[in-house]
Amino acid sequence: MRPTIVFDLDGTLVDTAADLVATLNVILEREGLDAVPYAEAVPMVGHGARVLIERGLAANGASREAAIIDRMFDDYIAHYAANIALGSRPFPGVVAALDAFAARGWLLAVCTNKLEHLSLKLLGELGLADRFDAICGADTFLARKPDPIALTETIRRAGGIAEAAIMVGDSRTDIDTAKAAAIPVVAVDFGYTPVPVTELGPDIVISHYDDLVAAVAQLRPDLFAKG
């Protein structure tokens, strides 16, 4: 069985904050609210568009009825989809790391709480989609992260098994998901979490994708030898 490496998307594979925050502020301003400063908004990212909108409202000391939030959500998705890769770019070293694992025979997958069609669109526009054996989003399965089913089903869809897999993420959600699935987790320290990943109990932390191969080899030398 080929080993599998599964990546979170926003804040892990791709630096998407600029486009996510820009879209949030467009939607808030349509509601007559203030834009959220970039530095304040980045830690709000990573739990899906609806949560981001709710946090943007809270930052304004505002609230809206559920029906209005539903409409804001629809507007957010439409605007974001049309502007999905204006400022978003893979983090440094991502492409080389994907190439390194693919060359060793690993299956590559994405497990994100971004909607699946947006994940496919983003990775497609960045020229990365074809590198992955599975790209699964918040609406792909009946459960989303931190439910471990989202991760284990992503691995299954990629053609792998949970017992021969590694997770890479940037947040508590990713770390909790991997732990619940009993899968080792590498955390990147350049993502969007408001809490330093070193405090969240990952198996290992890296600061650049140049270090990912060594980190995986350290965590699962048995899988790396087979890969």
Nearby residues of 198 by Cβ (< 8 Å), 6 or more positions away: 187, 189, 205
Each residue's pLDDT tens digit, 56-72? 999 999 999 999 999 99
Tokens 């089913």 locate to 149
Among the listed residues 186, 203, 174, the one whose alpha carbon sits nearest the alpha carbon of residue 47: 174
Active site residues: 8
Q: How many CA atoms lie within 13 A of 101 on its CB side?
A: 31
Helix (H), strand (E) at residue 4:
strand 4-7
Q: What is the average pLDDT across 88-109?
A: 97
Residue 159: DSSP 8-state? T
What sign results for the dihedral spanned by CA atoms 213, 101, 6, 194? positive
Q: How many CA atoms lie within 13 A of 10 on its CB side?
A: 30
Question: How many Cβ atoms from other residues are within 10 Å of residue 88's Cβ?
Answer: 18
Helix (H), strand (E) at residue 204:
strand 204-206
The listed CATH number (3.40.50.1000, 3.10.20.80, 1.20.58.1880, 3.40.50.300) that belongs to domain 4-15+88-226: 3.40.50.1000
Architecture of 17-82 per CATH?
Answer: Orthogonal Bundle (1.10)
Q: What is the average pLDDT across 155-169?
A: 98
Q: What is the average pLDDT across 35-55?
A: 91
Each residue's pLDDT tens digit, 21-32? 999 999 999 999
Residue 40 near residue 56, CB atoms below 8 Å: no
| pLDDT at 46 (0 to 100) | 76
Residue 227 has pLDDT above 70, yes or no: no
| pLDDT at 172 (0 to 100) | 94
User: Can you tell me the distance from the alpha carbon of 221 to that of 217, in angstroms, rounded to the nearest whole number?
Assistant: 5
Domain ranges of the chain: 4-15+88-226, 17-82
| pLDDT at 226 (0 to 100) | 61
